[in-house]
């Protein structure tokens, strides 16, 4: 592609590209996705996969066409041209060798014609990541191409929209859909449908090349996910890592907005928010969720059994603060597991200031409702809480070190409870008559 991009991105262009508004839950930015047509006008380096002989006819292996397109995408971005990889309408089969990653430091965009119009189908022999970015944050890209003081570095964050991705669960290989490694800022993912992925659908904040990794100031919205994940790979994960000897000055994942995410029939945990950094490392913070819905598979086969949503991790000391989930729904938890688990390895790692508002419904599941294993401050506003196993359990003072405030809308007195006696002083029922 020979189109050139100006050395500086105009303020007008940036304003058209990003709409900023006051965000809830302490997040500084609210990022609003834009149409495919607008994206194409903002990325002069347009790479049409159909020009690389991508047939997308549902039978031809288009792996080489995608690989060639990604390589040209990387070259265009390396020359300072904002690139967009456009997936044509049809069913594009990708099988065999793993696709090349987007080069470290590369942002740009991958867009389709719309959900269930542009469909990518992974073959049985495909393994590894489908789309993966590394270190595609604005600051690094600005220095690398020498643009100086651009109007707004947010335009260089990776974008993915208007696609359907279908895996192959008969494959014995791990297949991951969307992976964001190392430093990632201003990522926007919207209007993506995913099904039958034998691995992770979204992973943000994991390490690949560098010693420190996190996801910041990003928006993931309007995703529908079916029949995906595995016992060792949650469907959806926000995390952070640091392997430096001193992580005290390193950042962690923060200011991430997740909205309108639907996960059905997960194999393994549906959604995890956890921090793999040490207790002295950066605090994973300011994660805002709204209209997130996770539903277990009817019949609860053993191979899919896991908690539906987990905040924290019992094996790590990384700190978590300010997680807000509004209008969320957890349905049909698996037998022996719970819909919502808040946990940490130590009091220091116990999540601090978690607000969870919504409904937890037994549905066809045989599991429990809420388990608070470790927490420093939690507020639950439960319009409905029903489960076949214990509705709400709280562990003892070795993990719970702060107030747990519960609003049950007059129903808390009907719940089944399992409360460690040492945790009782921390629990407060806010409903009149529910004490």
Helix/strand/coil (H, E, C) string of the chain?
CCCCCCCCCCHHHHHHHCCEECCCCCCCCEECCCCHHHHHHHCCEEEEHHHHCCCCEEEEECHHHHHHHHHHHHHHHHCCCCEEEECCCEEEEECCCCCCCCCCCCCCEEECCCCCCEEEEECCCCCEEEEEEECCCHHHHHHHHCCCCCCCHHHHCCEEEEEEEECCCCCCCCEEEEEEECEEECCEEEEEEEECCCCCCEEEEECCCCCEEEEEEEEEEEEEEECCCECCECCEEECCEECCCCCCCCCCCEEEEEEEEEEECCCCCCEEECCCCCCCCCCEEEEEEEEEEEECCCCCCHHHCCCCEEECCCCCCCCEEEEEEEEEEEECCCCCCEEEEECCCCCCCCCEEEEEEEEEECCCCCCEEEEECCECEEEEEEEEECCCCCCEEECCCCCECCCEEEECCCCHHHCCEEECHHHHHHEEECCCCCC
* pLDDT number for residue 38: 54
pTM: 0.87
State the pLDDT confidence band at 32, using cuts at 50, 70 and 90: low
State the pLDDT confidence band at 8, using cuts at 50, 70 and 90: very low
Lowest mean pLDDT among 140-149, 156-165, 376-385: 140-149
Percent of the chain with pLDDT over 90: 65
* pLDDT number for residue 20: 35
State the pLDDT confidence band at 341, using cuts at 50, 70 and 90: very high
Q: What is the pLDDT of residues 230-259, one digit of tens each?
A: 988 999 999 999 988 888 888 999 999 999
Residue 182 confidence (pLDDT) above 70: yes
Lowest mean pLDDT among 26-30, 267-271, 293-297: 26-30
* pLDDT number for residue 22: 32
Residue 354 confidence (pLDDT) above 80: yes
State the pLDDT confidence band at 404, using cuts at 50, 70 and 90: very high
* pLDDT number for residue 43: 53
* pLDDT number for residue 323: 97
Lowest mean pLDDT among 2-16, 119-133, 221-235, 346-360: 2-16
Tell me the mean pLDDT in the region 218-240: 95
Mean pLDDT of the chain: 85
* pLDDT number for residue 35: 56
Residue 316 confidence (pLDDT) above 80: yes
Residue 88 confidence (pLDDT) above 50: yes
Q: What is the pLDDT of residues 355-393, one digit of tens each?
A: 999 999 998 888 999 999 999 999 999 999 999 999 999
Residue 160 confidence (pLDDT) above 90: yes
Residue 398 confidence (pLDDT) above 50: yes
Tell me the mean pLDDT in the region 259-268: 95
Tell me the mean pLDDT in the region 108-137: 94
């Amino acid at each position: 592609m020979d189109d050139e991009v100006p050395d500086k991105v105009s303020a007008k262009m940036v304003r058209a590209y990003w709409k900023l508004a006051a965000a809830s839950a302490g997040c500084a930015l609210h990022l609003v996705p834009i149409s495919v047509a607008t994206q194409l006008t903002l990325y002069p380096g347009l790479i049409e996969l159909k020009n690389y002989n991508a047939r997308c006819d549902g039978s031809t292996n288009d792996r080489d066409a995608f690989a060639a397109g990604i390589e040209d995408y990387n070259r265009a971005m390396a020359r300072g041209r904002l690139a967009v990889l456009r997936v044509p309408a049809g069913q594009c089969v990708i099988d065999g060798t793993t696709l090349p990653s987007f080069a470290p430091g590369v942002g740009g965009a991958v867009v389709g014609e719309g959900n269930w119009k542009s469909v990518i189908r992974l073959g049985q022999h495909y393994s590894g990541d489908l789309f993966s970015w590394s270190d595609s944050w604005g600051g690094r890209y600005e220095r690398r191409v020498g643009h100086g003081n651009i109007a707004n570095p947010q335009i260089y964050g990776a974008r993915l929209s208007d696609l359907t991705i279908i895996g192959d669960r008969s494959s014995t290989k791990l297949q991951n859909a969307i992976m964001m490694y190392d430093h990632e800022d201003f990522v926007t993912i919207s209007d993506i449908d995913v099904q039958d992925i034998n691995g992770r659908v979204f992973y943000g904040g994991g390490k690949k090349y560098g010693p420190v990794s996190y996801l910041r100031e990003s928006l993931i919205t309007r995703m529908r996910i079916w029949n995906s994940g595995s016992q060792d790979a949650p469907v959806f994960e926000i995390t952070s890592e640091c392997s430096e000897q001193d992580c005290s000055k390193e950042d962690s994942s923060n200011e991430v907005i997740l909205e309108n995410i639907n996960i059905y029939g997960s194999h393994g945990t549906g959604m995890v928010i956890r921090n793999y950094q040490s207790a002295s490392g950066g605090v994973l913070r300011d994660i805002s969720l709204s209209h997130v819905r996770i539903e277990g598979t009817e019949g609860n086969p053993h191979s899919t059994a896991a908690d539906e949503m987990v905040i924290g991790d019992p094996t790590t000391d990384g700190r978590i603060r300010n997680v807000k989930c509004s209008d969320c729904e957890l349905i049909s938890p698996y037998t022996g597991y719970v819909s919502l688990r808040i946990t940490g390895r130590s009091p220091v790692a116990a999540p601090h200031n978690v607000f969870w508002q919504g409904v937890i419904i037994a549905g066809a599941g045989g599991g429990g409702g809420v388990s608070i294993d470790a927490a420093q401050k939690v507020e639950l506003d439960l319009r409905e809480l029903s489960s076949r196993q214990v509705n709400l359990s709280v562990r003892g003072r070795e993990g719970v070190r702060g107030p747990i405030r519960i609003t049950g809308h007059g129903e808390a007195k009907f719940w089944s409870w399992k409360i460690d006696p040492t945790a009782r002083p921390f629990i407060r029922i806010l409903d009149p008559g529910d004490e």
